Amino acid sequence: MIADESPTFALITPEEAAKRLCVSKKTLLGFVQDGSIPKIPIGRGKKRERCAFDPADIEAFARSRKQFETPKCQSSNAKAKRSTATTSSSPVVDLRAELARRTAAKQKK
Protein backbone atom coordinates (compact mmCIF):
# COMPACT_ATOMS: atom_id res chain seq x y z
CA MET A 1 0.00 0.00 0.00
CA ILE A 2 1.38 3.40 -0.94
CA ALA A 3 1.49 6.07 1.77
CA ASP A 4 -0.86 8.34 -0.20
CA GLU A 5 -3.54 5.64 -0.31
CA SER A 6 -3.72 5.12 3.45
CA PRO A 7 -6.98 6.26 5.07
CA THR A 8 -6.77 9.35 7.22
CA PHE A 9 -7.45 8.70 10.87
CA ALA A 10 -7.60 12.00 12.72
CA LEU A 11 -8.09 11.85 16.47
CA ILE A 12 -9.42 14.73 18.54
CA THR A 13 -8.32 15.93 21.96
CA PRO A 14 -10.54 15.71 25.05
CA GLU A 15 -11.09 19.48 24.84
CA GLU A 16 -12.30 19.23 21.23
CA ALA A 17 -14.53 16.24 22.05
CA ALA A 18 -16.07 18.08 25.00
CA LYS A 19 -16.67 21.12 22.80
CA ARG A 20 -18.41 18.98 20.16
CA LEU A 21 -20.71 17.52 22.82
CA CYS A 22 -21.26 20.92 24.50
CA VAL A 23 -20.13 19.56 27.87
CA SER A 24 -17.18 20.23 30.15
CA LYS A 25 -14.00 18.16 30.01
CA LYS A 26 -14.85 16.79 33.44
CA THR A 27 -18.26 15.57 32.21
CA LEU A 28 -16.63 14.01 29.13
CA LEU A 29 -14.15 12.12 31.30
CA GLY A 30 -17.08 10.94 33.43
CA PHE A 31 -18.68 9.45 30.31
CA VAL A 32 -15.34 7.76 29.54
CA GLN A 33 -15.08 6.41 33.08
CA ASP A 34 -18.55 4.85 33.03
CA GLY A 35 -17.87 3.29 29.61
CA SER A 36 -20.25 5.41 27.51
CA ILE A 37 -17.49 6.81 25.28
CA PRO A 38 -14.40 4.81 24.25
CA LYS A 39 -11.00 6.50 24.54
CA ILE A 40 -7.73 5.88 22.76
CA PRO A 41 -4.68 6.03 25.06
CA ILE A 42 -1.89 8.20 23.68
CA GLY A 43 1.72 7.93 24.80
CA ARG A 44 3.29 5.59 27.28
CA GLY A 45 2.82 7.49 30.52
CA LYS A 46 1.53 5.60 33.53
CA LYS A 47 1.01 8.44 36.02
CA ARG A 48 -0.86 10.90 33.79
CA GLU A 49 -2.35 8.96 30.95
CA ARG A 50 -3.22 11.04 27.89
CA CYS A 51 -6.07 10.05 25.66
CA ALA A 52 -7.70 11.04 22.40
CA PHE A 53 -11.04 10.30 20.80
CA ASP A 54 -12.27 9.08 17.44
CA PRO A 55 -14.70 11.67 16.03
CA ALA A 56 -17.00 8.83 14.86
CA ASP A 57 -17.31 7.61 18.48
CA ILE A 58 -18.22 11.11 19.65
CA GLU A 59 -20.87 11.45 16.94
CA ALA A 60 -22.27 7.98 17.72
CA PHE A 61 -22.51 8.89 21.40
CA ALA A 62 -24.32 12.14 20.58
CA ARG A 63 -26.78 10.27 18.32
CA SER A 64 -27.43 7.66 21.01
CA ARG A 65 -28.27 10.40 23.54
CA LYS A 66 -30.76 12.16 21.26
CA GLN A 67 -34.20 12.39 22.85
CA PHE A 68 -37.54 13.33 21.40
CA GLU A 69 -40.36 14.85 23.40
CA THR A 70 -43.41 12.66 23.19
CA PRO A 71 -46.79 14.31 23.66
CA LYS A 72 -48.41 13.30 26.90
CA CYS A 73 -51.62 11.37 26.74
CA GLN A 74 -54.55 13.67 27.42
CA SER A 75 -56.64 10.97 29.10
CA SER A 76 -54.01 9.96 31.65
CA ASN A 77 -53.01 13.56 32.34
CA ALA A 78 -56.38 14.63 33.79
CA LYS A 79 -56.39 14.95 37.58
CA ALA A 80 -59.35 13.79 39.61
CA LYS A 81 -61.25 16.48 41.48
CA ARG A 82 -60.75 16.43 45.20
CA SER A 83 -63.65 15.49 47.36
CA THR A 84 -64.51 17.97 50.10
CA ALA A 85 -66.72 15.57 52.01
CA THR A 86 -65.32 14.25 55.26
CA THR A 87 -65.00 10.50 55.25
CA SER A 88 -63.63 10.22 58.78
CA SER A 89 -65.88 9.15 61.63
CA SER A 90 -63.75 11.03 64.19
CA PRO A 91 -65.37 13.99 65.94
CA VAL A 92 -64.19 17.51 65.15
CA VAL A 93 -62.29 18.97 68.11
CA ASP A 94 -61.89 22.70 68.80
CA LEU A 95 -58.27 22.87 69.92
CA ARG A 96 -58.51 26.40 71.35
CA ALA A 97 -61.50 25.43 73.48
CA GLU A 98 -59.68 22.31 74.70
CA LEU A 99 -56.61 24.40 75.60
CA ALA A 100 -58.77 26.93 77.46
CA ARG A 101 -60.52 24.12 79.36
CA ARG A 102 -57.17 22.60 80.45
CA THR A 103 -55.77 25.98 81.47
CA ALA A 104 -58.90 26.70 83.57
CA ALA A 105 -58.64 23.26 85.22
CA LYS A 106 -55.01 23.93 86.21
CA GLN A 107 -55.85 27.34 87.71
CA LYS A 108 -58.62 25.85 89.89
CA LYS A 109 -56.22 23.45 91.62
Q: Is 23 inside any structural domain?
A: yes
Q: Is 37 inside any structural domain?
A: yes
pLDDT at 69: 76
Q: Write the DSSP assignment of 42-97 as a string of letters.
A: ESS-SSS-EEEB-HHHHHHHHHHT---PPPPPHHHHPPPPPP-S----SPP--HHH
Domain extent at residue 59? 9-64
pLDDT at 74: 63
Please say if the pLDDT value at position 2 is more than 50.
no
Could you read off the pLDDT of 17-67 as tens digits, one per residue?
A: 999 999 999 999 999 999 999 999 998 877 888 899 999 999 999 999 888
Q: Is 19 inside any structural domain?
A: yes
Looking up residue 33, the CATH number of its domain turns out to be 1.10.1660.10
Q: Is 34 inside any structural domain?
A: yes
Q: Is 93 inside any structural domain?
A: no
- Calpha distance 29→37 (Å, rounded): 9
Q: Is 86 inside any structural domain?
A: no
Mean pLDDT of the chain: 83
Q: Is 15 inside any structural domain?
A: yes
